[in-house]
Amino acid sequence: MKTNKSIKTIAALLISSVAATDINGQTVAKAQNPFTLVYEGAIVKNEKGKVNIHPVKYKLNGIEIAANVYTPAGYDSLKHYPAVVVAHPNGGIKEQTAGLYAQHLAEAGYITIAADAAYQGASGGFPRHTDKPASRVEDVHGMADYITSYAGVDANRLGGLGICGGGGYSLKAAQSDKRFKAVATLSMFNSGEVRRNGFQNAQLNTIQDRLKQASDARAQEAAGGKIVYAGVASISDDEIAKTKTDLYREGYEYYYRTHAHPNSTFLYTMSSLLDLMTWDAATNMDLINQPLLMIAGSKADTKYMTDEAFAKATNAKNKELFVLDGATHIQTYWKQEYVSQALNKLVQFYQTNL
């Protein structure tokens, strides 16, 4: 018994334990999860006959990428399954909402992959928290590279799903990568537009000043100096409460309270703005000729970005804008009512087009 107890104690120390509080401030007990997943209903162990999770690593342009592959119940490597690549939000990682949607899509019969972006999460790359669009788009291509060679995947039935910032990068990837036979976004966030113009175009008057800051940060890095970071490393409850926009207030609650994970952060290198501010997810949308589904909440203060990109997708096949009535941006990440609606629509979309 002593030996068994000691083993359990050591195992408990090795497992990441995640605690959280709900939006009312009440503590929500999160079971210790060997895969460090922080979403509701997450897999805690692999069982025969059920959806299983497989942590994997692979190299992308010399950088080690950490990913989770989800396989459907009764998975047989000799059979052929459609697959879906899931790109995580800005500041997010594979253990949060990307994992939630990947797991549920696996429950619907798809082999799915959610990977941490290069320079972020558990993936390699330095400087840490580099957030350049070209890299994030390459991450989407890289997930496609890996999953289309995974045992049992039918490479001719590959779909894409991008959430928040991952949605913008998935749109850009699908413009050129025709391995994606269908592409969907959830609460799409146009990272370039927001970093350039400010959220809801609130920083149009400071574009040149911010470009100068990014240029100075790049010069400092090149000279071997300290890396300058933008964004939020931590935040108090009072600061969260005073945040006016739903996106950021609810985002802080999600990432720093209810679904916190040590690998998730709102930080990014200041020098990344040199690339972010000259990039836009909604350019060349006419290159998407695949079926397109874009999902957004009716109350999302980010919905204008989905509307802009959707209107420009003039050559998309069977395109559809699906609105979740009453949902804000962050609520689509976790609130069961909206997650269920989004998933039902996604499954219908992929079943029709893959």
* CATH number corresponding to 23-44+51-190+232-266+280-353: 3.40.50.1820
What is the rounded average pLDDT of the residues 304-318?
Answer: 97
Q: What's the pTM value of the predicted model, to 2 decimals? A: 0.91
Q: Which residues are bridge partners to 211 per DSSP?
A: none
Burial of 59 (0-12, 13-18, 19+ CB in 10 A): exposed
| Res. 27: pLDDT tops 80 | no
DSSP H helices, the chain, are 2-14, 97-107, 133-147, 165-176, 191-197, 207-222, 237-242, 246-253, 273-276, 303-312, 331-334, 336-353
Q: Tell me if the bond preceding 127 is cis, omega within 30° of 0.
A: yes
Q: What is the pLDDT of residues 64-93, one digit of tens each?
A: 999 999 999 999 999 999 999 999 999 999
Q: Average pLDDT for residues 36-62, to the nearest whole number?
A: 97
Mean pLDDT to the nearest integer, 207-233: 97
Closest C-alpha to 282, from 174, 171, 183:
171
pLDDT at 84: 99
| Residue 232 predicted with pLDDT over 50 | yes
What average pLDDT does range 342-351 have in this prediction? 98
Task: Compute the distance between CA of residue 164 and CA of residue 296 in angstroms, rounded to an integer.
Answer: 10
- Cα–Cα distance measured from residue 180 to residue 157, given in angstroms and rounded to the nearest whole number: 8
Q: Answer for the pair 273, 230: CB distance below 8 angstroms, yes or no.
A: yes
Confidence of residue 14 (pLDDT cuts 50, 70, 90): very low
What's the DSSP call for residue 24?
A: T
Q: Contact 90/165 with Cβ under 8 angstroms?
A: yes
Per-residue model confidence (pLDDT) at position 239: 97
